[in-house]
Amino acid sequence: MTGAEIIVQVLADEGVDTIFGYSGGAILPTYDAVFRYNDEHSTGSDDAPMPLIVPANEQGAGFMAAGYAKATGKVGVVMVTSGPGATNTATPVRDCLADSVPIVVICGQVPTNMIGTDAFQEAPVAAALGPLAKHCFLVTDPEKLEATVRTAFEIAKTGRPGPVVIDVPKNIQNWDGVFQGSGLLAVPGYRHRMHAIENNVMTDAHCEEFYALLTAAERPLIYAGGGVINGEASVSLREFAQTHGIPVTTTLMGIGAYDTTDDLSLRMLGMHGTAFANYAVEDCDMVIAVGARFDDRVAGVPEQWAPNAKCIAQFDVDPSEIGKVKPVAWSHVGILDRDLRKVIDYGNEHGIRLELGNWQQEVAALKRTYALNYDRNSELIQPYAVIEAINRHAGGKAIITTGVGQHQMWAAQYFDFCDPRLWLTSGSMGTMGFGLPAAIGAQFAHPDKLVIDVDGDASIRMNLGELETVTTYDLPVKVLVLNNYGDGMVKQWQKLFYQGRLSASDKSLRRKDFVKAAQADGFHFAVRLENEEDMESVVQDWINFPGPAFLEVIIDTDAGVYPMVGPGLAYDSMITGDFIPRRTPRNADEEIDGSSMF
């Protein structure tokens, strides 16, 4: 086989069924090999076993692969050319590393004898993307190409998942050699760490220590992060919580790990988490952290976070996360699903049952008293009401993707998620432009599911060209743009912390007609909603439209995201706005440094 054919065959062996990418000179041999593989293995005109999906931009390809990976748990694959093709994937690669998303990026590169000569479309991919990726390979020995591609998939999906980049010079792709059909690179350090985690099975003695802390607690709280979803541990987490009646709150990336419609759910905590979740954190006397990393959006002031918790127990697959932000009394590094199952079994075998009735009643009261709310009598369209209307149709079963900003937080707050892998967003990096391409990747992963991109007018501009990708492949993605004429979250901060100086954030003078743009890109349903009384019927028509559908909603430009924990403040200083009660009066002396954390 040629090197290009070897790459494609390894992709097939790894179960890859979709490739996202943009062609170019340095990757042409592999693109041709994909074409020939599909031609040889298809049984009809529309059933290519490994279709190559072409975006408007390589950044879009990276986010499509991320959306695919988040929606399935499988490794997403990106294939791009050298130079700008590779560097355009830098943001998705970093985004996937920050959110622990497994993708493999295969980049073409100039021939090995031309590397370092500033050849046409040459870029130092390993140097540029290496710090942004979980690992980066530059293939210079063709005999190691096959093993390199297999090893890239191993690294991407094992342990804490992440992006792996393979830089393949064109002469390596054109090389002829024998396909071995097996074999991996020697990466002993990595495999030693993975084996240590896999072999670290929880003992009865360790379970006994955990339950000694848990049974002594009167107000335990589960704090679940994206690691629960990455570790396919949602079912065991739910069983553990329900067995003992322990309330559950999740991070932004953990949304869906626990059914938001369940009585024990406190939804999301943190900077824009629910008031009742944050108050429950204030009140709890034990925190059980599962696949969560105490990031600054959750624990902006670590020493004041969960001030009444006598202890923290932490489960994670990454040993570097244990005690990194908050000291813990008990911890275990291992496979989350297996570890939670062991804890459940131990509790059942020893007849351990907790008496948490009083705590459950307190939590229920918090949920009633400090529920999400907004101005329901406004004549302007409220974004919260739009999402509530869509949620009535989605029923907690739709895949929701978002860009980044106010619309992202509104979606996190007001949509229901009954299952994991339904909530796809850019968390740690906070990358605008994520939503639309991620929705495309998710729709390819789940052709029969309802996929909705909730976007903002500023965020969707970042990858607006992917509207055409939706219609090119006739994907039934529903695109929602909540238009408040500007960078809504930036404007909210400027109003709160910068005396209302809207520096470069007010887009009210921009001329973009989103409906015409969608129509130009082939959307047969492209509607602008401006009157509140039309909302229910328009939303229903948009959801029920059988193909790609675009809806722009002109919302109240002053609508804010509340609750909000200001930078440098603890949860007891949470800003709840005009329609959500606050437990303690706001202290006029509270100092907020608006520049300290966005």
Which residue among the candidates 5, 58, 282, 321 is catalytic per the annotation? 58
269 & 393 share domain: no
489 tagged catalytic: yes
For 266, phi then psi, to 5°, come to: -105, 10
Segments of 102-203 assigned E as strands: 103-109, 135-138, 163-169
Residue 239 falls in the annotated catalytic set: no
Active site residue 388: no
Residue 520 falls inside a structural domain: yes
pTM of the model: 0.96
Q: How far apart are CA 390 and CA 388, in angstroms?
A: 5
- Asked if pLDDT for residue 131 goes beyond 60, the answer is yes
In a domain, residue 560? The reply is no
Query: Above 90 in pLDDT, residue 592?
Result: no
193/204 same-domain check? no
Catalytic residue of the set 462, 489, 535, 564 = 489
- Residue 260 within any structural domain of the chain: yes
Which among 139, 166, 197 is the end of a domain? 197
| Within-domain flag for 444 | yes
Residues 183 and 321 in one domain: no
Tens-digit pLDDT profile for residues 398-451: 999 999 999 999 999 999 999 999 999 999 999 999 999 999 999 999 999 999
Average pLDDT, the chain: 95
> Choosing from 1, 9, 35, 121, which is the catalytic residue?
121
416: domain CATH number is 3.40.50.970
Based on the fold, state whether residues 345 and 392 are members of the same structural domain: no
Pairing outcome for strands 330-333 and 220-224: unpaired
Q: pLDDT confidence of 495, banded at 50, 70, 90? A: confident
Residues 458 and 354 in one domain: no
Do 106 and 204 belong to one domain? no
pLDDT of residue 507: 76
How crowded is residue 279: how many other Cβ atoms within 10 Å of its Cβ? 25
Instruction: Please write the tens of the pLDDT for every residue from 268-297.
Output: 999 999 999 999 999 999 999 999 999 999
Is 122 an active-site residue?
Answer: no
- The C-alpha atoms of residue 5 and residue 297 are separated, in whole angstroms, by 45
Q: What is the pLDDT of residues 28-84, one digit of tens each?
A: 999 999 999 999 999 876 789 999 999 999 999 999 999 999 999 999 999 999 999
Looking at residue 510, its pLDDT comes to 77
**Which of 162, 179, 197 lies at the terminal end of a domain, its last residue?**
197
Active site residue 50: no
Grouping H, G, I as helix, E, B as strand and the rest as coil, residue 325 is coil
Q: Lowest-pLDDT range, 106-115, 546-555, 564-573?
A: 564-573
- 120, 179, 579, 598: which one is catalytic? 120
- Of the candidates 70, 134, 157, 170, the residue annotated as catalytic is 170
Instruction: Check pLDDT > 50 for residue 369.
Output: yes
Range of the domain at 129: 3-197
Q: Is the residue at 596 inside a domain?
A: no
In-domain check, residue 67: yes
Looking at the structure, tell me whether residues 502 and 516 fall in a common domain.
Answer: yes
Chosen domain end from 197, 225, 241: 197
Q: 587 lies in a domain?
A: no
174 & 227 share domain: no
Is residue 378, in this structure, part of any structural domain at all? no
Q: What's the mean pLDDT in 526-551?
A: 98
Euclidean distance between CA atoms 356 and 250, whole angstroms: 20
